[in-house]
Amino acid sequence: MPFTSYTYISDADALAIKAFLFSLAPVRTAALENTLTFPFNQRWAMGFWSALFNPDIRFEPDTSKSPEWNRGAYLAEALAHCGECHTPRNLAFALNNRRKFAGAITAGWRAFNISSDKTTGVGAWSDDDLVSYLSTGHAVGHGSASGPMGEAVDESFSQLAQEDIRAIVAYLRTVPATASTDLPATLAPSAPVSHRDGGNTADARGKMVFEGACVSCHGWTGESPISSFATLTGSRTVNDPSAINVAQIVISGTRRHTPANAVSMPAFGSAYSDDEIAAVANYVTARFGSKASQITAREVTELRKQTSE
pLDDT at 308: 57
Question: 205-308: same fold as 62-172?
Answer: yes
Distance of alpha carbon 89 from alpha carbon 96, whole angstroms: 5
Question: Helix, strand, coil % (nearest 5) of the chain?
Answer: 45, 5, 55
Tens of pLDDT, residue by residue over 65-76, are 999 999 999 999
Please give the single-letter amino acid code of residue 20.
F
Alpha helix stretches (DSSP H) within 67-140: 67-74, 83-86, 127-136
pLDDT at 2: 42
Q: What is the mean pLDDT of each run of 10 residues along the chain (309 residues)?
A: 48 68 67 80 87 86 96 94 96 93 94 97 97 96 94 94 97 97 94 91 92 96 94 96 96 88 91 97 96 95 81
CATH class of 62-172: mainly alpha
pLDDT at 20: 67
Instruction: Show me where the domains of the chain are located.
Output: 62-172, 205-308
Domain 205-308 grouped into CATH 1.10.760.10: yes
Tens of pLDDT, residue by residue over 86-106, are 999 999 889 999 999 999 999
pLDDT at 27: 67
List, as one string, the DSSP characters of 136-168.
HSEETTTEE--HHHHHHHHHTGGGS-HHHHHHH
CB 62 within 8 Å of CB 154: no
